[in-house]
Chains A and B, each alone.
Chain A
Amino acid sequence: MMGTLLPDALDFLKAQSFASLLALYWYIALFEIPRYGVSFLVAALFRPAPPGAGAADGVGRLSAIIAGHNEEEAIERCVLALHEQSRPPDEIIVVSDGSTDRMSAVIARLLRQGLIQQAHATDLRGGTSSGVNLAARWATGDILMKVDCDCSFDRHALRNILTPFQNPAVGAVSGNILVRNPGESLVAAFQAIEYMISISLGKQAADALGQVACVSGAFGAFRHEAFEAVGGMDAGGGEDLDFTLRLRREGWEVRFAADAICYTDVPATLIALIRQRFRWERDAVRLRYRKHGEMMNPFSHRFRPRELLHEVEFLGFNVIAAAALPFYLLGLFASYGGFALIVLAAAQAGLLLLDLASFLLAAHATPRARAMGLLWFLPGYTVFNGFFMRFIRLAAYAQEWAFDRSYSDPYVPNKVHRERL
């Protein structure tokens, strides 16, 4: 069937005028082309200069902060990995956040061995934010770096994440997160491509435009002074996005260090991925439109013009794009019946080319990603990212709008949900 469908589709498309093509593909013209366009433009125009040796000099002392819950197995490996860095941290502070396993005993031993400088343990879980705040309260470094227990690092990751702090206006730098387990499942492979294109390449573009809106919670660094100035982390979830938005509001620059690479495992099953993305997207809309909604209101004193671009980008490419997709599809099927599939297939073929270009660009920009093995997954990724992820996003937004589901995430203790802003 595909043998006749594709030539048919091409014939059909060739017969269309520009106006009728636009009517057919308005969704793609509105939500896909600009997204790629901005990325290509930025990536073509701005190339980050490779950092020289000792580029992290003069930024001061570095305190690494690890707050974890029941991480007795991961914590030691994580600490040892930090000591393997070309620029190891000057201080490592570990908080066992109400762990019920042996984590507090393990970190007490690491303290005795001199592998970490401070170990704190609470008996009741308080969530990531309170753990990080506790560690920051005792940290002595000029730069605070938050890492997750399950991350592993490129040898120069710490040196490279420090480099942007040579500019005193920079308040936070996000590390570049890549997928450690792309071979584990199809879903993991799709995410590996997504991390490369949307997160790595997308943040490089955002960085070039000064629009980095979220310092990754898994690997990010903050100027201690900036951390104190905004009062540290607020109650989660989505505390990384929230904290970055607040830093930006206070006028700090936020950068993305593409060469500060950290690896993490992504969900390998569809259900785990869906849960994770529901959480992320719910937190994003809650923070942007509930907590920080005023930042978009030109009449509010909290309005910041330079925040407009990433807010519009999020609203357009994430929220509206997701909301519009069902209408577009319904309209398409209403007008063309079964032929709509051909129309969509043709669109995907076109998008595949754009994705391929993005993929090659990302692979070039992040050589350490070892991307070429993922090339075969690209056609699947195009569909996965264009339809499946959008529907998930849409469902998450709807759930948050209708039911405030982010207020019952298990990632945050209930006592905090009840009281937080």
Chain B
Amino acid sequence: MPDTTPAEDGTEAAQSGDAKRILVAEDSSAIQDLLQLILTQRGLSVDIVEDGKQALDAIRTQGYDIALLDFNMPEMTGLEVVAKYLEDPAKGPCPHFVAITGDVQGLLESQDNCEHFDRVMAKPLDINEVLSVIGELGRARPEAPGIRPVRPAAGGAPSRSPIEDVGYRFLRWPYDADRRRLTAGAEGYDAVLVYEADTPDDLAPLWQGRGLNLLPVIDLTGRLGAGADFDASGVGGDVAEHVTRLIDGFGDRRAALHRDVARSEDIGDKLLARIHVSGADLIPRLDGNRKGLVGYNLTLAPETVRAAAGKLVGRGLLAADFFERLHVCGNCRSARMIVREECPSCRSAQIEETSYLHHFRCAYQGPEADFRTGDDLICPKCRVELRHFGRDYDRPGTMLVCQSCGHAAAEPAVGFVCADCGTRSEGEAVATRDVHLYRLTRDGIGYLEAGAAFLGMAQQVLRFTDLPLDLVVALNGEARRYNETGAAFTLLSIAYRNERPIAQDHGARQFAATRRLFTELLGQRLDGGAKVISGGAFDYALLPGTGPEAVSGRIGDLGKRIAAELRFDPGAEISVFGPEDLG
């Protein structure tokens, strides 16, 4: 089996602690195989049942930590299973119930469903999501939410905004923002409609659900500022047209995202995708309400944006333009710093500028206060009255006198005081933080459109969770046979270097056709029994009974020969994996 470390697929939680007992109620045998394979690999104890009745019996008798229930099963739906179990007065401890459904929106419309299921997962299943939900629920006590809790709606149902009549499906914040819906992802929503929120950061949980960060945020509160994509708080009239244009624009650009990026859980990928989908650069704005003094035009904490964007700049996917340099408190990292001129001696800001007076006759030189006696200027040294400016005396310059300690200096020191924690820093010692505007580079756009293959970075690393389901099941069978009989097999992974140029010059359909033709020819030219499987970013070929050493020498030439027969060279790069590589 492919060897993936927990850190790669975010499932470390699934492996920690005692072995969890999982029930899978699912009538599709492919999904049964897949879940069994993955979950047992993670050290979990898995029981499989095929219908609702068996599921109810199993839950009653065995006592599970988590029950994954297909919503539409023979005999009894998932909801009925849960309802019956909960009705039973003699029921044991309650497992976490997770619904699996092809119609998330429909499921969530029933209030009962929302109460009974801890999570809802959309079909087709995303392996990463399954693992991360199981990890979370395994960690959490029942009813303790795994996602940051969202403030419940105050006072029941909201007054309905006319925007909801525009004809799109809205996630109404915070009323629809329970953790089941957030986990289920953006499936079934076109936009987020914010009824209540104080700051853009309140909407940060959107970034935890898959794809929710890619929806336009329409602000009805007027408090989100640039954090929202559209401020609908004070507009009437043409709002429908504007909302339509906004949502369609987001939808079009979202559809153009490569599946790798759109489904990625990585915060950097999410951020890249958000910039692309919003159609705007990542623009910083000074915001006095924030400790960091800067907010960006999205609903993610600026610290997170800065860290993630910094890494993307390092990878060449974003370009950074200087926006502002802030001074930062060394103690609490706040950028809300009071800058002032201070006494170089005692650091007090209570300094006053005063003139020097120079009495020519006796050479006394000092601050004007030394001379001042009522309205008169009397020299403190020789007691002569100064009457004639330029003749008796002049003012050769100014000095700063500290009213706190009496120290005098020609120039003040510059100092900072943190408005949040009160820490003082000297002007030359205070740390600075540069704020940048971020925009997509050509590489960034290429990555968003072509996925990981664009970067050529997935060549020698096979990500188990990226593989198509039927390939996983087939691989599992081959692996078992290899362990039992020693029969070798080979997996080819095919990436297409020329996907972008072909798609740009001749259209995505042309590339799809080229790719399909390439895999067909490859399947024909390989020895009998080869199984070619189309994936997302890559295509695959599984060769049972053939070891990788028999393939690797000639596969490059074969690829070139096939490409020569095609109208466009897809730039196929074929990597070879054997049973040893796949663990």
Task: Please judge, given known A-B contacts A111-B344, A420-B360, whether A134 and B411 are in contact too, CB under 8 Å.
Answer: no
CB-based contact B409/A130 at 8 Å: no
Q: Which secondary structure characterizes the binding site on chain A? A: mixed
Complex: how many Å from CA A108 to CA B428? 13
Q: Is A232 an interface residue (CB 8 A)?
A: yes
CB-based contact B364/A130 at 8 Å: yes
Complex: how many Å from CA A392 to CA B361? 29
The residue on B at minimum CB distance from A128 is B363
The residue on B at minimum CB distance from A236 is B363
CB-based contact A231/B381 at 8 Å: yes
CB-based contact B363/A104 at 8 Å: no
CB-based contact B360/A418 at 8 Å: yes
| Option from B361, B367, B390 in Cβ contact (under 8 Å) with A420 | B361
Min C-beta distance of A308 to chain B, whole Å: 27
| Option from A137, A234, A419 in Cβ contact (under 8 Å) with B391 | A419
Complex: how many Å from CA A236 to CA B396? 17
| Option from A119, A130, A133 in Cβ contact (under 8 Å) with B410 | A119
Q: Is A124 an interface residue (CB 8 A)?
A: yes
Q: Is A83 an interface residue (CB 8 A)?
A: no
CB-based contact B364/A232 at 8 Å: yes
Task: Please judge, given known A-B contacts A130-B358, A130-B365, A418-B360, whether A111 and B390 are in contact too, CB under 8 Å.
Answer: no
Complex: how many Å from CA A29 to CA B328? 81
Task: Please judge, given known A-B contacts A98-B396, A231-B381, A232-B381, whether A126 and B365 are in contact too, CB under 8 Å.
Answer: yes
Task: Please judge, given known A-B contacts A96-B410, A111-B409, A419-B392, whether A234 and B362 are in contact too, CB under 8 Å.
Answer: yes
Q: Is A235 an interface residue (CB 8 A)?
A: yes
CB-based contact B408/A232 at 8 Å: no
Task: Please judge, given known A-B contacts A137-B370, A419-B391, whether A233 and B363 are in contact too, CB under 8 Å.
Answer: yes
The residue on A at minimum CB distance from B388 is A419
| Option from A120, A126, A415, A421 in Cβ contact (under 8 Å) with B390 | A415
Complex: how many Å from CA A221 to CA B237? 86
The residue on A at minimum CB distance from B414 is A112
Q: Is B356 an interface residue (CB 8 A)?
A: yes
Min C-beta distance of B390 to chain A, whole Å: 7
Min C-beta distance of A314 to chain B, whole Å: 24
Complex: how many Å from CA A95 to CA B239? 69
Q: Is A310 an interface residue (CB 8 A)?
A: no
* Chain A residues whose CB sits within 8 angstroms of the CB of B362 once the complex forms: 231, 234-235, 420-421
Of A104, A117, A122, most buried by chain B (CB within 10 Å of CB) is A122
Q: Which residues from 381 to 437 on chain B have a C-beta closer than 8 Å to any C-beta of chain A?
A: 381-382, 390-392, 394-397, 399, 407-411, 413, 428
* Chain A residues whose CB sits within 8 angstroms of the CB of B397 once the complex forms: 98, 121-124
* Chain A residues whose CB sits within 8 angstroms of the CB of B365 once the complex forms: 122, 126, 130-131, 133-134, 137
CB-based contact B360/A419 at 8 Å: yes
Q: Which residues from 339 to 363 on chain B have a C-beta closer than 8 Å to any C-beta of chain A?
A: 344-345, 356, 358, 360-363
Complex: how many Å from CA A232 to CA B409? 20
Min C-beta distance of B381 to chain A, whole Å: 4
A-B pairs with beta carbons under 8 Å apart, 17 shown: A104-B411, A111-B411, A117-B345, A122-B397, A126-B363, A130-B365, A133-B381, A134-B356, A137-B367, A235-B360, A235-B363, A418-B360, A419-B360, A419-B391, A420-B363, A421-B361, A421-B362
